[in-house]
Amino acid sequence: MQITFIRDAAELDALSKDWNNLLARAVSDVPFLRHEFQSTWWSTLGGGEWEHGELWIGVGRDERGELIGLAPLFLTQTLDKQLGLMFVGSIEISDYLDFIVTNETVEPFVEALLTALEQNGPREWQVLDLYNIPQTSPSLQMLKEAADRRSWAVTQERLQPCPVLTLDGTWEEYLTSLDKKQRQELRRKMRRATRDPSGVKWNLISSEGDSVSAAKEFLELMTTDLRKVEFLTPAMRVQFQRLIQTAHENGWLHLSFLDVGSKRAAGYLSFDYGNRLWVYNSGVNAAYLSLSPGWVLLGNMIRWAIENGRHEFDFLRGDESYKYQLGGQERYIYRLAIARG
């Protein structure tokens, strides 16, 4: 296997079709690894999360020149103040990250990648610092074994839970699966919303909808949460606007609102990808908290996912109680740091 490195955005852009074709067969086929997500992230360095970075994307090809592996990496100063290689997408706004490789080729790809980084990588890199690897990814074990063969120090850390709701029945069967108290609460809140005299409606931005205006409305909802005001820097706003636009253009945007009369009461930015709904971020207008708009909107989203044949509802990172109350089961992501010997 031959490993070369992509060093600039033009080379990254040229690989878009082959990138996504490989991702569709990869062990971690997640929206955060789509070419358009990765290139959008790179255009803002994660909405300003990183001040500096250099692309070092490892590209693995077989003897026929066919693409068989990608290591989307960039060089930066890590949080531990070391010169390190990290996943493009690290850390805060990409919930799952990994190598883009099939199950059959992950072991030789990882071995070839570490060899290429030793021989042709950045001269002074100190650590391979990889965040947000799914617990089910074979990359974790393959990286540890390849590092051990080189006597490189390995540190593995379990990070946040990512509660996931498995959908394998009807809406009524889902409700029955909930704890009795939570089932009654969800039903009561959704029923109360339908009876509100102002008129409560659930709206999903369609493939023909105006995603630019919808993005602005969603960001306005986010700013009603004081905890998110600091997060939404000008650079992060640009990141979200570009992400919503590219997800819409590529057919995996799921942006929904709960409206009370003519006002947006709540919004959820999600991704409809790989037969799963990925619940990415939210905004709730505090003026309508008495209607529990967040819960009502989530209930409508879960019902939509069930009725449209999605098999999972992924709440993504965080241990907020509502995720478990609505049936989420814990999965975890990991950080793997490999110190170069």
Largest CA distance in the chain: 69
CA contacts within 13 A on the Cβ side of 197: 0
Q: How far apart are the first and last CA of the chain?
A: 23
pLDDT tens column, 177-213: 999 999 999 999 999 999 999 999 999 999 888 999 9
DSSP 205-241: --TTS-HHHHHHHHHHHHTTSHHHHTT--HHHHHHHH
Crossing angle of helices 16-23/35-48, nearest 10°? Answer: 100
Q: What is the pLDDT at residue 71?
A: 98
% of the chain surpassing 90 pLDDT: 97
pLDDT tens column, 51-110: 999 999 999 999 999 999 999 999 999 999 999 999 999 999 999 999 999 999 999 999
pLDDT tens column, 285-335: 999 999 999 999 999 999 999 999 999 999 999 999 999 999 999 999 999
Neighbours of 329 (CB within 10 A): 13
Residue ranges of domains in the chain, CATH in brackets:
2-160+333-339 (3.40.630.30), 164-314 (3.40.630.30)
Q: What is the pLDDT at residue 66?
A: 96
CA contacts within 13 A on the Cβ side of 303: 14
In the predicted model, is pLDDT for residue 227 greater than 90?
no
In the predicted model, is pLDDT for residue 226 greater than 90?
no
Closest listed residue to residue 135, CA positions, set 112, 107, 160 = 160
In the predicted model, is pLDDT for residue 32 greater than 90?
yes
Q: Average of pLDDT values for 207-235? A: 93
Average pLDDT, the chain: 97
* Cβ-contact 297, 258 below 8 angstroms: yes
Q: What is the pLDDT at residue 209?
A: 87
Whether pTM exceeds 0.95: yes
Neighbours of 233 (CB within 10 A): 13
* Cβ-contact 146, 130 below 8 angstroms: no
